[in-house]
Amino acid sequence: MRKIFGAMVALALVAPAFTVPAVAGGSKSYATKPAAEAQTIVAIAASNPDFSTLVTALKAAELTDALSGAGPFTVFAPTNAAFAALPAGTVENLLKPENKAKLQAVLKFHVLGAAIESSALAGKTLTSPPTLQGGTLAIDGKNGVKVAGANVVKADIRGSNGIIHVIDKVLLPAN
């Protein structure tokens, strides 16, 4: 769990020096630092204001250390707008200390224990390896890349411990 979320933050920090290709619409630039200064997924996320809600959630769930670990991870990282699209009160409720286990499950559902580039997803329909939460994600790469119904809007943000794919929707596990 900790490795997955550390990887998510690391990807956010690597973004200041390059632009990630758009996968399913959108042309927003996620800046990263030069590759020589590659950071963890957690560090990358923490350096990008579009991931502030994600980073707040990772901290509340105590997953930043795990996702800052060696990895490799693939993090499907929802933007602030994706969190804002959830029903009113959802994020606030998940951030309550008594809901920490549920928040951890939601966040771990966004992380795979392997680094998977978008090129491995393009043109294919498949089921992901298990998420850190234990479930799997339906991936449709035939027309852009969709993960459990969420569009990958930026792909292949590389961190020292994995890859971040930016998504436009928060993924919710069935359990």
Q: Is residue 172 part of a domain?
A: no
Torsion of CA 125, 22, 83, 66, to 10 degrees: 80
What pLDDT is recorded for position 38? 81
Nearest-angstrom CA–CA distance, 151 and 25: 9
7, part of any domain: yes
Indicate whether 173 belongs to any domain.
no
Task: Tell me the mean pLDDT per 10 residues along the chain, length 175.
Answer: 35 30 39 55 94 95 91 94 94 94 95 91 85 92 90 93 95 84
**36, part of any domain:** yes
Alpha carbon of 119 to those of 25, 36, 66, 155: distances in Å? 16, 23, 26, 9
Q: Is residue 175 part of a domain?
A: no
CATH of the domain at 34: 2.30.180.10
**What is the total count of domains within the chain?**
1
Q: Is 164 in a helix, a strand, or coil?
A: strand
Order across the sheet with 150-159: list the strands. 111-112, 73-78, 162-167, 150-159, 146-147, 138-140, 125-127
174 part of a folded domain: no
The overall pTM is greater than 0.85: no
User: Which structural domain, as residue segments, surrounds residue 63?
Assistant: 2-167
74 found inside a domain: yes
Expressed in angstroms, the distance from the first to the final Cα of the chain is 17
pLDDT value at residue 175: 62
